[in-house]
Structure 1
Amino acid sequence: MECGAALEVPSRGRRPRYCSRSCQAKAYRARVAAGATVTRAATADPERSLTVDAIVQAAIDVADAEGAGALSMRRIAAELGAGTMSLYRYVPGKEELLVLMVEEVIARQSARTPELTGWRERMTAVARNDWELYQKYPWVLPFVTSPRTVLLQNMSEEVEWSLASFEGFDLTPVEKFQLVMTVTNYTSGVGLLMANDREQRLNSGVELADWWEGPGREIASEVVVSERHPQLSALMAAQPGIADFDQAFEFGLARVLDGIELLLDGR
């Protein structure tokens, strides 16, 4: 007896431990409050427990494979072989889970390298680190590109290191931040192009180069007329669309840094 109430003992079968469902639920909540772990459903590995880390990793796996649009507490629970409501004992909701996901993937890689001291070296490392992050986890882009993004612990360390790149120049704190934003906004802008193409590729199964050689070129040919658009016509003949996101990113990054260098020469 778990609650002290008298129990009816059946003539056959297992002896009951609870007098009612409410009594069973009360005992269960007491065990959770005491720190008991909640194991996965019988269909999952019984050796593994449902934890915040396990939930976050499952959510990352779903977002990586199916895109951010597939994220839901129900979908993540299915990935873990657990009941949907059981997740809420560890994570209040989807928005809070997304914060934990972003914090986790940012923690996995960092641009902060002690031997990088020059501002251009540092900002190149920051941009390339962000670019790699967006390639691995494109679903982070809507979070990091929001002007109301919560400044996470790992993110704050990266921003502090980036701002220190411009130490020694005659710049205000706001100007330093604006220079960092110039580089990171450029990177996230190209990252959004890449992420959108990835989403469309997942939905259609068609690679970007194949799309440009087929429907893309056909649509463009209806709009671009050589007599009216000689520059666009030359571009379409040479290379329609973005053939290589990495090459486009590196070319633009160098130009952004060149512009910052002109500014800093006078400071």
Structure 2
Amino acid sequence: MSCVECGEPLEVPTRGRRPRYCSRSCQAKAYRARVAAGATVARPADPDRALTVEAIVQAAIDVADAEGANALSMRRIAAELGAGTMSLYRYVPGKDELLSLMVEEVIARQSPRSPGLTGWRERMTAIARYDWELYKRHPWVLPFVTTPRTVLLPNMTEEVEWALASFDGLGLSAVMKFQLVLTVNHYTSGIGLLMANDWEARRASGVDIEQWWETTGRDLAGTVVAEDHPRLSELMSEQSEMTLFDETFEFGLARVLDGIALLLDR
């Protein structure tokens, strides 16, 4: 058995799903090729490959990571698995439930919780950085977690409980603790949304933000009259600094935590 993308031989496990790719790189190349062709290529039906909830969820995560949440449908996931659409409903009731399972799965793969982190600032930093990396790997998660009616999944409740405990012993009410956690969360998801929107624009156009600034951004800078807008003109001249999402995130996070520290000192 060999990788369908590069032809390298594959190890066939004695149990579980049979692999089709030798690496995530080959899997991503295959997705990009399908996107470029503007068509969905279904996997051939494999009667020896039993459907499972885990297989369905992973196939959905792969599609969302490569093409965004808008590409998700039960029909599409069935095609990826070489199965009939209706057969998926024996395992997952529908798309909404599938999305919840996907979010639960990617959250479960890593946790910011560490017994060595005891101070509120250390914990809040760990949580923010964890969320940031989650949004970078899976930008489709953002709409699910940026709503006041978010369903608290099991792993999410553990993270929230740990975050709230960061402020124990400081004489704060439960509401105040939640507001502080929410402040950090909103900052991270806000800049995460900028990054996710840029990811979607790059996926659709094939142009990354650095290239965009070199063309469209340079034209925009040319429309700013330095005499009338000297500060904006100076900012536009430093275009390269405006594309560094990681650095921008870390700078803003430190300022948010500085503000919370001032509040607690009072």
The answer to whether the aligner puts 1:206 opposite 2:236 as a matched pair is no
Kindly provide the amino acid, as one letter, of the partner of residue 132 in structure 2.
W
Q: Name the structure 1 match of 2:263.
A: 263
The answer to whether the aligner puts 1:191 opposite 2:192 as a matched pair is yes
Describe the superposition over 1:184-232 as per-residue Cα deviations: whole angstroms up to 9, x where unpaired: 110001111111100100100001011011012213432x221221111
Kindly provide the amino acid, as one letter, of the partner of residue 98 in structure 1.
L
| CA positional deviation for 1:45 | 4.1
Q: Name the structure 2 match of 1:7.
A: none
Q: Name the structure 2 match of 1:168.
A: 169
Deviates more, 1:84-93 or 1:247-256: 84-93
TM-score of the superposed pair, with normalisation by structure 1: 0.81
Describe the superposition over 1:36-90 as per-residue Cα deviations: whole angstroms up to 9, x where unpaired: xxxxx99344432111111111100100111111111111111000111111111
Kindly provide the amino acid, as one letter, of the partner of residue 245 in structure 2.
F
Q: Name the structure 1 match of 2:225.
A: 225
User: Structure 1 residues 265, 80: CA separation in 2 closer, same or farther (over 3 Å shift)?
Assistant: same
User: Structure 1 residues 233, 180: CA separation in 2 closer, same or farther (over 3 Å shift)?
Assistant: same
Deviates more, 1:84-93 or 1:153-162: 84-93
| CA positional deviation for 1:150 | 0.2
Q: Name the structure 2 match of 1:35.
A: none
Separation of aligned partners in 2, 1:77 and 1:47: 15
Larger Rg: 1
The answer to whether the aligner puts 1:246 opposite 2:246 as a matched pair is yes
Unaligned runs of 5+ in 1: 1-40
Kindly provide the amino acid, as one letter, of the partner of residue 190 in structure 1.
I
Q: Name the structure 2 match of 1:144.
A: 145
Indicate the percent of aligned positions where both proteins have the same amino acid: 74
User: Structure 1 residues 210, 42: CA separation in 2 closer, same or farther (over 3 Å shift)?
Assistant: closer
Separation of aligned partners in 2, 1:98 and 1:221: 44
RMSD: 1.5
| CA positional deviation for 1:241 | 7.0
Separation of aligned partners in 2, 1:182 and 1:171: 15
* DSSP 3-state at the match of 2:89: helix
Q: Name the structure 1 match of 2:116.
A: 115
Separation of aligned partners in 1, 2:84 and 2:49: 15
Q: Name the structure 2 match of 1:236.
A: 236
Q: Name the structure 2 match of 1:54.
A: 55
* DSSP 3-state at the match of 2:171: coil
* DSSP 3-state at the match of 1:49: coil
Separation of aligned partners in 1, 2:92 and 2:119: 41
Whether the aligned pair in 1 keeps the contact of 2:43 and 2:79 (CA below 8 Å) is no
Describe the superposition over 1:139-171 as per-residue Cα deviations: whole angstroms up to 9, x where unpaired: 000000011110110000000000000001121
Whether the aligned pair in 2 keeps the contact of 1:117 and 1:165 (CA below 8 Å) is yes
* DSSP 3-state at the match of 2:226: coil
Separation of aligned partners in 2, 1:248 and 1:42: 41
Separation of aligned partners in 2, 1:42 and 1:101: 21
Whether the aligned pair in 2 keeps the contact of 1:56 and 1:100 (CA below 8 Å) is yes
- Count of aligned pairs: 225
Give the 5 Å matches for 1:83-94: 83-94=84-95
* DSSP 3-state at the match of 1:103: helix
Separation of aligned partners in 2, 1:241 and 1:211: 13
The answer to whether the aligner puts 1:135 opposite 2:136 as a matched pair is yes
Q: Name the structure 1 match of 2:7.
A: none
Q: Name the structure 2 match of 1:157.
A: 158
| CA positional deviation for 1:114 | 0.4
Kindly provide the amino acid, as one letter, of the partner of residue 140 in structure 1.
V
Whether the aligned pair in 2 keeps the contact of 1:134 and 1:141 (CA below 8 Å) is yes
Runs of 4+ residues over 6 Å off in structure 1? none
Unaligned runs of 5+ in 2: 1-41
* DSSP 3-state at the match of 2:157: helix
Whether the aligned pair in 2 keeps the contact of 1:73 and 1:94 (CA below 8 Å) is yes
Q: Name the structure 2 match of 1:97.
A: 98
Whether the aligned pair in 1 keeps the contact of 2:180 and 2:260 (CA below 8 Å) is yes
Q: Name the structure 2 match of 1:82.
A: 83
Kindly provide the amino acid, as one letter, of the partner of residue 120 in structure 1.
R
